[in-house]
Amino acid sequence: MSEFDGIKQYPHSNEAEQAVLGALIIDPAKFSEISGLAEDDFYTETHKVIFGAIRRLFGMSREIDVVTLVDEVKKTFTGADLDAAKYIKTICDVAVENTNIAEYVRIITEKSILRKLIDASRKISEKAFDAGGDVKQIVQYSEELVFRIADERYHTELTPIADTVKENYARFQFLSRNPDAYSGVKTGYSELDRYFISLDEGDLVLVGARPGVGKTTFALNLALNVGLKYSDKDIAIFSLEMSKEQLVNRLISCQALIDNYTVKRASFNDEQWGELANACSKLSETHIFIDDTTNITVTDIVTKVRRLKNPGFIIIDYLQLMHGESHKDNRVLEIGDITRSLKILAKDLKVPVLLVSQLSRPPKGIKEKRPQLQDLRDSGSIEQDADIVMMLYREDYDNSEAEKTDAGDSGQKTVECIIAKNRHGNTGKVNFAWYGPYFKYVQIDESHGGSDEQ
């Protein structure tokens, strides 16, 4: 601390701190206007002690005046050079009853943030100078320190329901006139959007399927739909299984409607070269970002997503390849930690997170092959943490003699998208035509049924 203090004095405003304390002594009712202010936001130890004494008296519903405050201060303050009564009277002299306390609180809070940033800088410097430190961990540690300071700036308050009702009513009126302005993201498939309206901010959406059914392709189709529709939103795809080159090839094949075999061999005819150029141009205009790091953790994802300017949709492919920060000796607990952390990530960043997951194979001899919620692998917490669970099912896949991959099938296949859980509405089923060579899902328009979720 001395190395910084020797250069410059820590940011603070003695006048603002005195004004706030004086205003609280004169009119304790103003305490309700500064609920976000903490003792540590004050710079001088004397002011911290006085503020703490005022808060305790206020919490005990005791009268706050010079006499009671001096008595409370003397119980906790150890500084021998403080004439408590004299200093508290001085504070009262610089305050007026109708002072602009909100503005002074803002000054105190901002100075406090600057001091915390200085302290964080020192800690980061010490970590960086430690030659034995892991660079990746140091970067994550640095970002966490800074983001924690930013998060502490905002305090959640109890909100009267009347205020929220008014806000919601105004939002209803606005959305009725501007239906495309909904804050979530639409999937690009009208039948799915009838169930969800949109994938909302804070939603954890799970897409599950057995190996080879086409869950990665489905997730990529959703990413492409969102990317083409929302030019202002950043879409982040975290692929733990496939490389970014493979994913982009699939997106190109889907957008250009050129089979994957041709794309991989680059054996395009003249017409396909034009379709390829057009597809590449449209894809380049989207704000899709791809990370193909293996063994990625939720902390890694948070760090990378926060660097985006306007994150709007996150896709992770897939859950069973992820590693948690703890419980590595117990996979069930580890998966539980991962899904819980991803739900918190979606809520904190206010974006929908789509998580791809493998499903367990049905036991032999079971007639009903369609997946169910109990087929989610490794942990029941997956179902608990997810707001929406979609499961893909192909009857031809289960009836085939050998498993087929996304690229191995030819022609059109019918895929059922079973909405097994929907926290916001009905469950049901949407049918898709799936074209394996093009990695493309096309919705089959037909009437749909749904059942209320219990």
Q: Is 378 helix (H, G, I), strand (E, B) or coil?
A: coil
Spatial neighbors of 128 by CB under 8 A, at least 6 apart, are: 138
HSE, CB side, 13 Å, CA atoms: give it for residue 194: 13
Cα(454)–Cα(420) distance, integer angstroms: 11
CA–CA distance from 136 to each of 299, 300, 337, 443 (Å)? 11, 9, 21, 43
241 is known as an active-site residue: yes
Q: Is 443 helix (H, G, I), strand (E, B) or coil?
A: strand
Cα(93)–Cα(105) distance, integer angstroms: 18
Q: Which two tokens stand for residue 176?
A: 């009725």
Please state whether the peptide bond connecting residue 318 to the residue before it is cis, i.e. omega within 30 degrees of 0.
Answer: yes
Q: Is 267 helix (H, G, I), strand (E, B) or coil?
A: coil
Spatial neighbors of 9 by CB under 8 A, at least 6 apart, are: none
Asked if residues 335 and 382 have their Cβ atoms less than 8 Å apart, the reply is: yes
Q: Is 155 helix (H, G, I), strand (E, B) or coil?
A: coil
Cα(104)–Cα(346) distance, integer angstroms: 34
Cα(320)–Cα(340) distance, integer angstroms: 14
Q: Which two tokens stand for residue 354?
A: 């789509």
Cα(188)–Cα(228) distance, integer angstroms: 9
Asked if residues 338 and 204 have their Cβ atoms less than 8 Å apart, the reply is: no
Asked if residues 311 and 236 have their Cβ atoms less than 8 Å apart, the reply is: yes
Asked if residues 49 and 77 have their Cβ atoms less than 8 Å apart, the reply is: yes
In whole angstroms, what separates CA 271 from the centre of its chain? 42
Cα(334)–Cα(378) distance, integer angstroms: 9
Spatial neighbors of 102 by CB under 8 A, at least 6 apart, are: 33
Number of other residues whose CB lies within 10 A of the CB of residue 106: 12
Catalytic residue among 241, 275, 383, 416: 241
Name the residues annotated as catalytic.
241
